[in-house]
Each structure stands twice: as structure tokens, then as C-alpha cells.
């Protein structure tokens, strides 16, 4: 694990060194600053989403690249947010932001689907909505990409 991280950091640093050469030549300091600011803003918004409040209509994004790359499992980033909170009788809508199709079902990878809900295939840019009439915690996972998991808390 640590080796993989170190290798990743090394590759990133190397790429950074290569990419920084043309940047220094072509972009002035003001441009670089703007880009940095924007990146920070996006990260902040994502963080706020994952600590979302309980609402009657919640949205979950199926993360871009989550079908190709198991690394989204680390830090529970395959679904954003990982834990979705809705009020009793509320609806959760999953939006597929990935280019791959996804299929989510209630349950977990260890014991399998439990039949409470099943999206079938969700196309790229497709959506799936599920109403939750009973309070409780609903685990779900992707039956095509079993590393993808999330949770709906109904209260
Ligand atoms: Cu999937």
C-alpha cells in the first residue's frame, strides 16, 4: 500500500516537473493562481455534499471513472455522497456521471442483493430514483462493479 502511494507520488512529481516547464514559459503567475483557486472551490463543494443534510429528495452521483478504476473504493468515493440521508417517504436519485453503465442494488457484496431495490442498468448520464417509505439504513452496491458501495439512511 505505502509503496503504491510512494510510486504514485513519484509519478505525480515527475509529471509535475515535466508539465511545469511549459507552464512557466507560457503562463504568467496570475493564471496559475486562478487555476489553483478554482480547484480549491470544487473540492470544497464536494466536501459539503458528502456531509449533506437529511432532505426529502437527495441526489447521489455515480462518480466519473468509478467503473474503470477500483481506487474509488478508497475513501468511499465511488458514490458521492457515500452516505445519503433522506426523510421517511423521501426519494433518492442516482445520476450516472460515468461513461460506463452501472447497476446498483440494495444489499452488500458479502451477502448479495436483498431485493429492497434494484436499478437495473443505468446508462451514462442516466438516472434511477427510489422512494424510501421505511426508516432504516440501506446498504447498496454495484452488481457490475462490486467495489462500489454506498448507504442510504432513512429517518
Ligand atoms: Cu458500477
What is the full per-residue pLDDT of the chain (155 aa) written as tens digits? 455 554 544 444 444 444 444 444 444 444 434 444 444 443 333 433 445 789 999 999 999 999 999 999 999 999 999 999 999 999 999 999 999 999 999 999 999 999 999 999 999 999 999 999 999 999 999 999 999 999 999 99
Distance CA 77, CA 149 (A): 9
Cβ–Cβ contacts within 10 Å for residue 66, how many? Answer: 25
Which H or E run includes 130?
strand 127-132
- What is the 47 CA–ligand 1 centroid distance (Å)? 22
**39 and 70 housed in the same domain:** no
Q: What integer pLDDT is reported at residue 25 of this predicted model?
A: 41
- What is the 115 CA–ligand 1 centroid distance (Å)? 18
**41 and 91 housed in the same domain:** no
Residue 141 β-bridge partners: 105, 149
- What is the 1 CA–ligand 1 centroid distance (Å)? 24
**68 and 133 housed in the same domain:** yes
Q: What integer pLDDT is reported at residue 5 of this predicted model?
A: 53
**88 and 114 housed in the same domain:** yes
CATH number of the domain bearing residue 135: 2.60.40.420
Q: What integer pLDDT is reported at residue 34 of this predicted model?
A: 40
Q: What integer pLDDT is reported at residue 48 of this predicted model?
A: 36
Name the DSSP class of 149: E
> By the 8 A CB rule, do 87 and 153 touch?
no
- What is the 119 CA–ligand 1 centroid distance (Å)? 11
Domain, as residue range, for 60: 54-154
- What is the 96 CA–ligand 1 centroid distance (Å)? 9
Q: What integer pLDDT is reported at residue 88 of this predicted model?
A: 98
- What is the 75 CA–ligand 1 centroid distance (Å)? 16
Q: What integer pLDDT is reported at residue 7 of this predicted model?
A: 52
Q: How many helices (H) and strands (E) does the chain have?
A: 2, 8
**39 and 79 housed in the same domain:** no
Amino acid at each position: 500500500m505505502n509503496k503504491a502511494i510512494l510510486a504514485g507520488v513519484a509519478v505525480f512529481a515527475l509529471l509535475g516537473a515535466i508539465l511545469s516547464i511549459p507552464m512557466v514559459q507560457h503562463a504568467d503567475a496570475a493564471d496559475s493562481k486562478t487555476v489553483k483557486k478554482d480547484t480549491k472551490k470544487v473540492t470544497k463543494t464536494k466536501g459539503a455534499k458528502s456531509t449533506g443534510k437529511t432532505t426529502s429528495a437527495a441526489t447521489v452521483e455515480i462518480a466519473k471513472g468509478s467503473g474503470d478504476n477500483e481506487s474509488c473504493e478508497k475513501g468511499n468515493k465511488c458514490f458521492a455522497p457515500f452516505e445519503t440521508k433522506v426523510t421517511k417517504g423521501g426519494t433518492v436519485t442516482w445520476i450516472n456521471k460515468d461513461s460506463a453503465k452501472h447497476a446498483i442494488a440494495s444489499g452488500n457484496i458479502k451477502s448479495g442483493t436483498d431485493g429492497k431495490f434494484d436499478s437495473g442498468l443505468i446508462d451514462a448520464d442516466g438516472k434511477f430514483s427510489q422512494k424510501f417509505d421505511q426508516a432504516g439504513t440501506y446498504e447498496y452496491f454495484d452488481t457490475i462493479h462490486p467495489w462500489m458501495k454506498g448507504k442510504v439512511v432513512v429517518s
